[in-house]
Chain A
């Protein structure tokens, strides 16, 4: 099947056309349920209001503030249609930014690790105990070599088997004991 046909087929099943969202055509406001609502002014002058929108980062790791995809909430893992893209969050006013960030913080829960107490391997799992910005946690990794990822800017991301994500902003700033535990996987 040629790519053009593929696109057409997909178009047939997906109804919305995504537009760039700017302060000129998009007004975000707090919904009655405490989440984010959006009023979108279409090119033809009509207005659409979405009671709740999901805001998803296109580059959650490298550019968390750029290219935010605003979507209709979908079933389950979020297969809702894209309403539009925000190229960068700073084009909006402070109030909107705060509102969007509030939603983003709800969606992206990545506590920072400040201290590592222990990491023990048993029965094929690595049980780790650490202090994070979200409290003291115990988490389990399958395979630390795959679950611990060092980014180009030196940050370290850790994902565990339960779906938690942790961030280590700068491993070299950890205390000696913590550093020694994590060092072997960096």
Chain B
């Protein structure tokens, strides 16, 4: 992330007058002041001072020593850098939050360090940049890719590499369209012979023989057949190449997405990733196999037609050109306007659909509150609005589309007009006129498209860039050169770990915890205190910022990810069962598990009995479309899944939180089976889940509040003590 913006020369000079030769560590723009955006504000930090520059003046200069408690605070519509000057809070400057909040947060932390110690090392800065350093524009959504600055040739080269193995097939459509094009130009020439020599010979010219005429007709027919045959061939080949291209690209994308770390994936939404695999690939494929050949042929046909027209009759060619600017202008205007109307129609439709979706989904709520009339009123208002807009759009389209058609024909009318003069004067044959007119038609044809071409090209480039970006992304979490495949015993040691999903916003700070093999650690804390984050770090779904995590004395970064995760079993609060049978779900983490093992795991998870009550036992299909299991049943399947590979470490992340007491009892018993002889980490709100815990960790806002055995914590009379009391009281009150 960029923390040193270049200062304008004049400001740099002013700065030097104030601080002399002192090195500038950070310089960030601040772009909001009072009630206006400004463009010339800079916040500058040196080792001993913090300064504000505006235009070519330094307007504010403070000694870092006198400041403390630097925070970058997000406001609404902007954000501010606050600090305390001799204990009094001041607002140093304000800035556009999305652009600079992360930068200011890092700088705030650096200032904090510098204020205490002027020789503090530079701030850790591994936050990815979101704005293109060259042009300052935002990168493509969710990427580090600036389509404005990245060289087009580079992108095309990547595309070229993607087409390996199918280039000939992909080029074929272009070849066939070009052949088709040539045929289109030949056809009017043959027609001219047919007219001039046979149908309407000029005076004094002998009419051709019947055989000759048949030959010409046969030529025309076979040309047509040939053209169509080419079309069929092209379609068939496109179908093969297009599908193969799509398949290959989708596979590569899917594979790549799975090799990325959680931190990279969690920054992308599921919808975005699905979009890239489905829509973006389709867009690229459609462009290459369908649109591109069309554009190539249009460019060629325009140039050919122009050349032939000039060669045939330069003067008459002028008539073709007179209406051209009018036509181009009219078409551009027309499409621009129509696009807006269509966009509006689309927006309104989407809104109506959303409303429909909402009220159908919520129909029970609507009925419960007797709100039917209101809902009906709202809906009809939306539909009315949409209908009137649609009507207007359709009327406009149906009025102007024919007019545009007329404008495009203007050239032909002028040719006919002038051509007839020539005809009467004997300067031109009927056949030649017809030929000329046909070519003029070809010349005008691509015009209807000119508005779509740039649009389609940018769409294609956008999709292509998004795909390339995923393919180029390097997995953040990588195995070492020679990772160790250790057999995990179960000692876990967390040493002074500090971590945040965004580096400027730590979720865990200085966490140190030791768990011995076979022990159970219970983690307690309010939501957002970092419980799940700690577990994610132990599983190495994210890389620890500072500090390290050891398993059996080995840094988890030295263990291969596969070895690590295959020996950890996890049960989450929200259980995801894949569509498939109960058996498939249980053996998910060990596909070669025998049926005996599956039943053993199910029994340990207290799941065997309810599975036997299902219509098809272990073969019953569950998941989205299958048999619907209750929350407790799903949870027990998940526990069996975690157990099947007999993990050395078991993690329970609020595994029992959403269940009723009776089911919890069943699961609790299952868990007691589970936790024997393995290291267990359990997160739970219900302290009953923690009964068996050897040690308890209380987290508060990412810090260790209390850590020790059940008895130690009760003796401390801290948060844990109060929690136990509160839950006991609640239990008694419930009776």
A76 close to B71 (CB less than 8 A): yes
Which B residues are in CB contact (< 8 Å) with A140?
A: 137-138
Q: B80 touches which one: A31, A106, A108 (CB < 8 A)?
A: A106
Which B residues are in CB contact (< 8 Å) with A161?
A: 98, 138
Given A106-B94, A164-B98: A76 and B73 interface contact (C-beta under 8 Å): yes
Q: A123 touches which one: B84, B462, B722, B734 (CB < 8 A)?
A: B462
Interface membership of B147, Cβ < 8 A: yes
A108 close to B91 (CB less than 8 A): no
Which B residues are in CB contact (< 8 Å) with A95?
A: none
Interface membership of B88, Cβ < 8 A: yes
Interface membership of A156, Cβ < 8 A: no
Interface membership of B125, Cβ < 8 A: no
Which B residues are in CB contact (< 8 Å) with A183?
A: 340, 344
Closest to A166 in B: B77
The smallest C-beta distance from A120 to any residue of chain B, in angstroms, reads 11
Given A73-B82, A106-B91: A163 and B700 interface contact (C-beta under 8 Å): no
Interface membership of A5, Cβ < 8 A: yes
A107 close to B88 (CB less than 8 A): no
Q: B97 touches which one: A6, A123, A163 (CB < 8 A)?
A: A163
B722 close to A12 (CB less than 8 A): yes
A125 close to B77 (CB less than 8 A): no
Enumerate A1-52 residues with CB–CB distance to B below 8 Å: 1-2, 4-6, 8-10, 12-13, 31-35, 51-52
Interface membership of B363, Cβ < 8 A: no
Q: B141 touches which one: A10, A54, A142, A145 (CB < 8 A)?
A: A142
Given A12-B719, A33-B88: A134 and B35 interface contact (C-beta under 8 Å): yes
The smallest C-beta distance from B86 to any residue of chain A, in angstroms, reads 9
Interface membership of A109, Cβ < 8 A: yes
Closest to B92 in A: A33
Q: A13 touches which one: B36, B38, B719 (CB < 8 A)?
A: B719
Which A residues are in CB contact (< 8 Å) with B536?
A: none
How far, in whole Å, are A135 and B90 apart by their CA atoms in the complex?
Answer: 26
Closest to B147 in A: A123
How far, in whole Å, are A162 and B526 apart by their CA atoms in the complex?
Answer: 31
A73 close to B89 (CB less than 8 A): yes
Interface membership of B424, Cβ < 8 A: no
0 or 1 for each of B695-733: is its CB under 8 Å from A? (1 = yes) = 000001000000000000000000100110011001001
A125 close to B138 (CB less than 8 A): yes
Which A residues are in CB contact (< 8 Å) with B144?
A: none
Interface membership of A94, Cβ < 8 A: no
Given A51-B87, A163-B96: A109 and B505 interface contact (C-beta under 8 Å): no
0 or 1 for each of B23-40: is its CB under 8 Å from A? (1 = yes) = 000000000100111100
How far, in whole Å, are A76 and B69 apart by their CA atoms in the complex?
Answer: 12
Which A residues are in CB contact (< 8 Å) with B140?
A: 123-124
Enumerate B90-104 residues with CB–CB distance to A below 8 Å: 90-91, 94, 96-99, 101
Which A residues are in CB contact (< 8 Å) with B529?
A: 13
Interface membership of B74, Cβ < 8 A: yes
Which A residues are in CB contact (< 8 Å) with B91?
A: 33-35, 106
How far, in whole Å, are A145 and B529 apart by their CA atoms in the complex?
Answer: 35
How far, in whole Å, are A122 and B80 apart by their CA atoms in the complex?
Answer: 31
Interface membership of B241, Cβ < 8 A: no
A164 close to B87 (CB less than 8 A): no
Interface membership of B347, Cβ < 8 A: yes
A124 close to B89 (CB less than 8 A): no
0 or 1 for each of A109-132: is its CB under 8 Å from B? (1 = yes) = 111000000000011110000001
Enumerate B599-628 residues with CB–CB distance to A below 8 Å: none
Q: B727 touches which one: A5, A122, A124, A125 (CB < 8 A)?
A: A5
The smallest C-beta distance from B386 to any residue of chain A, in angstroms, reads 13
The smallest C-beta distance from B691 to any residue of chain A, in angstroms, reads 16
Interface membership of B78, Cβ < 8 A: yes
Closest to A36 in B: B89
Enumerate A122-169 residues with CB–CB distance to B below 8 Å: 122-125, 132-135, 137, 140, 142, 145, 160-165
Interface membership of B79, Cβ < 8 A: yes
| 20 interchain pairs, CB-CB under 8 A | A2-B730, A4-B733, A5-B730, A9-B685, A35-B89, A51-B88, A73-B73, A73-B89, A76-B72, A106-B75, A106-B91, A109-B78, A123-B147, A123-B462, A134-B36, A134-B37, A142-B141, A161-B138, A162-B98, A164-B96
Which A residues have a C-beta under 8 Å from some C-beta of B? 1-2, 4-6, 8-10, 12-13, 31-35, 51-52, 54, 60, 73, 75-78, 105-111, 122-125, 132-135, 137, 140, 142, 145, 160-165, 180, 183-185
- Given pairs A111-B35, A184-B343, 12 additional interface contacts (CB within 8 A): A1-B657, A2-B734, A33-B90, A35-B91, A78-B73, A109-B78, A123-B147, A123-B461, A123-B462, A163-B79, A163-B98, A184-B347
